[in-house]
Amino acid sequence: MPEPIFDIGDAPDIAPPTRSERDQMLRAMGFLQGIVVDPKFTLVVNGDNSMGGFVGAEIGESQFSGATLIAARLGSTVTNIGSSAFYGCSYLAELYLSDVLTNIGYNAFNSCSSLTSLSLPASMTNIGDSAFVYCEGLTRIEIHAPVAPTIGSDAFYGCTGVSPAEIHVPIGATGYAPAYDGLTVVYDL
């Protein structure tokens, strides 16, 4: 068996890569492609060509699953968040969604336990099964869609921090069930 280069605890004094070097390495591996994670662990996806020309409309399946992010800001071109895209991002506390977002996939934010509020845009048409399951930190949920999106089973299961246990929707909205996963729908936006 070959000798280790260094033992745990004897790590050489190597400076971490600069942001530019890190982004270059990640792009070379196909991870960034216009998506930037800044030094404060904030994911920023813009569609205005200011960050590597990202003009995609989708956050892919499992793309950031388990990542150490504290905030995500999804720009004006993002219409779809794929299945398990942010699964297990337990430090994710702030989420800013695109005004054109239509779909959130299965398990997309499962176990994002640090999220404290959720505001889904009027453009929403689908919230997948278990999309926000076990987001215990959520204290407020708003869905701004005037017509209820399809809301999958257990989409909000385990969101025990919501108090009062309500989902807020627009006054006059149509198609919503009286409750989802024990959260009463209230028409007050």
Q: What is the pLDDT of residues 150-164, one digit of tens each?
A: 999 999 999 988 888
Distance spanning both ends of the chain, measured CA to CA? 65
> 32-189 domain in CATH 3.80.10?
yes
In this structure, what token pair is assigned to residue 112? 């994002």
Secondary structure (3-state) at 96: strand
Residue segments in the chain with a per-residue pLDDT below the cut of 70: 1-56
pLDDT at 19: 54
Strands (E), the chain: 36-37, 42-45, 58-59, 71-74, 80-81, 94-96, 103-104, 117-120, 126-127, 140-143, 150-151, 166-169, 179-180, 183-187
